[in-house]
């Protein structure tokens, strides 16, 4: 899937347009748990009784999907501009992320609710409204944060707000209509102040005639709710920068949309029925890991990499098969 072609909603997608400039940035400090750094010796346990797909149950689709309705609600919180007191830079390219995610979620039968440039108070109200919806006839819930973040917090346009109370609003006792259903949270933000170092050379396609740059986003480290059926997707592992192209959007969201559209939409329902979400996210990780910074105003960032990750508390296989 290519993001080149036309210019819509202020976001350019063009081949050979010499007048278009874009850049690669990073989203500030990050979200999540530490996955590396343990000095404990690791051992390998031989698996003698392999778990087959038949033994792992699947989440049941919602009733509305079969009858032609929505699969669920997908909330997108997209912050590009920030008050000067926050010290956060404009997140150029994030409009492309919102546009592509909105298109994807609509194709996957979601009721998409996008919000742009919202304050911390706005974010609380958005989360409260989403958790108060009756999800009884839906089979899952998605919430995407496109913003800066810092140590367990996400940025509204006017400052930081803790992530933990936001995600906890969707645990069973607070949102009973989502009990036993997948609740997916996606964070496009940095999770530290280091660049991933390349260990093997990986070629990346370039766009001729376009002077783009890679920048970084500031990121979040949320404390996660103690509940099942949650899935947390992070654009980068903790401690590292998350890269965003100032014209085409973030690496992670580009690859996320590319993989999900190709495997779940373009290849048809039969393909979607055999591609659970964790397999798709692993493919997204692979696609992002192939990339490297080629255009940037920061020479120290040239050649640097990015490694996404996800944390699953799902208890069943999760498939996103579109309605017939």
Question: Residue 201 catalytic?
Answer: no
Dihedral through CA 228, CA 230, CA 235, CA 240, nearest 10?
Answer: -30
pLDDT band at 251; cut points 50, 70, 90: confident
At residue 316, the pLDDT reads: 94
Higher pLDDT, 206 or 119: 119
pLDDT for residue 129 is more than 60: yes
At residue 241, the pLDDT reads: 62
CA distance 130 to 303: 40
Q: What's the mean pLDDT in 242-248?
A: 66
Higher pLDDT, 58 or 305: 58
Higher pLDDT, 273 or 69: 273
pLDDT band at 23; cut points 50, 70, 90: low
The conformation of residue 196, written as its DSSP 8-state character, comes to B
Q: What's the mean pLDDT in 67-80?
A: 88
Q: Give 152's Cβ-side CA count (13 Å radius).
A: 6
Strands (E), the chain: 7-8, 11-12, 21-28, 72-78, 110-116, 140-146, 153-156, 159-162, 183-188, 192-194, 211-218, 230-234, 239-240, 242-245, 249-250, 309-312
At residue 50, the pLDDT reads: 55
Highest mean pLDDT pick, 10-14, 62-66, 266-270 = 266-270
pLDDT for residue 199 is more than 70: no
Q: Which of 52-56, 186-190, 237-241, 278-282 has the lowest mean pLDDT?
A: 237-241
pLDDT for residue 73 is more than 50: yes
Q: Which of 175, 190, 233, 255 is catalytic?
A: 190
Q: Which of 22, 135, 148, 243 is catalytic?
A: 148
At residue 17, the pLDDT reads: 40
Tokens linked to 155 = 């940025």
Given the structure tokens 């036993």, which residue do they identify?
A: 180
pLDDT in tens, 287-322: 988 865 545 555 554 546 667 889 999 999 999 988
Higher pLDDT, 243 or 264: 264
pLDDT in tens, 27-56: 665 555 443 444 444 444 445 455 566 788
Nearest CA among 188, 178, 297, 175 for reference residue 234: 188
At residue 201, the pLDDT reads: 34
Q: Which of 17-26, 98-107, 231-240 has the lowest mean pLDDT?
A: 17-26
Question: Residue 22 catalytic?
Answer: no
Cβ-count burial 217-249 (b if 16+ within 10 Å, e if not): bbbbbbebbebebbbbbbbbbbbbbbbbbbbbb
Domain ranges of the chain: 22-30+57-312
User: Looking at the DSSP assignment, which residues form a beta bridge with residue 232?
Assistant: 185, 311
CA distance 106 to 305: 31
pLDDT for residue 260 is more than 90: yes
At residue 200, the pLDDT reads: 37
Name the CATH topology of 22-30+57-312: Rossmann fold (3.40.50)
């Amino acid at each position: 899937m290519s993001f080149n072609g036309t210019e819509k909603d202020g976001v350019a997608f063009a081949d050979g347009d010499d007048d278009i400039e874009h850049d690669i940035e990073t989203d500030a400090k990050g979200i999540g748990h530490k996955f590396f750094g343990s000095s404990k010796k690791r051992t390998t346990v031989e698996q003698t009784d392999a778990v087959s797909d038949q033994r792992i149950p699947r989440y049941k689709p919602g009733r509305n999907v079969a009858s032609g309705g929505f699969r669920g609600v997908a909330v997108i919180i997209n912050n590009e501009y920030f008050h000067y007191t926050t010290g956060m830079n404009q997140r150029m390219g994030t409009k492309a992320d919102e546009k592509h995610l909105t298109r994807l979620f609509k194709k996957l039968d979601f009721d998409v609710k996008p919000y742009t440039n919202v304050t911390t108070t706005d974010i609380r109200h958005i989360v409260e409204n989403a958790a108060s919806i009756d999800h009884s006839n839906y089979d899952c819930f998605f919430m995407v944060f496109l913003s800066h973040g810092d140590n367990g917090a996400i940025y509204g346009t006017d400052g930081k707000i803790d992530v933990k109370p936001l995600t906890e609003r969707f645990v069973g006792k607070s949102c009973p209509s989502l009990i036993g259903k997948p609740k997916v949270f996606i964070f496009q933000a940095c999770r530290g102040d280091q660049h991933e170092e390349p260990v093997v050379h990986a070629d990346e396609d370039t766009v001729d005639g376009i002077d783009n740059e890679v920048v970084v986003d500031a990121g979040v480290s949320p404390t996660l709710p103690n509940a099942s059926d949650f899935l947390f997707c992070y654009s980068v592992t903790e401690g590292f920068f998350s890269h965003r192209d100032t014209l085409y959007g973030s690496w992670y969201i580009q690859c996320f949309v590319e993989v999900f559209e190709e495997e779940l939409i373009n290849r048809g329902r039969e393909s979607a029925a055999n591609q659970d979400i964790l397999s798709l996210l692993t493919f997204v990780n692979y696609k992002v890991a192939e990339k490297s910074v080629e255009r940037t105003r920061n020479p120290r960032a040239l050649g640097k990499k990015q490694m996404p990750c996800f944390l699953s508390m799902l208890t069943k296989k999760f498939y996103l098969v579109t309605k017939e």
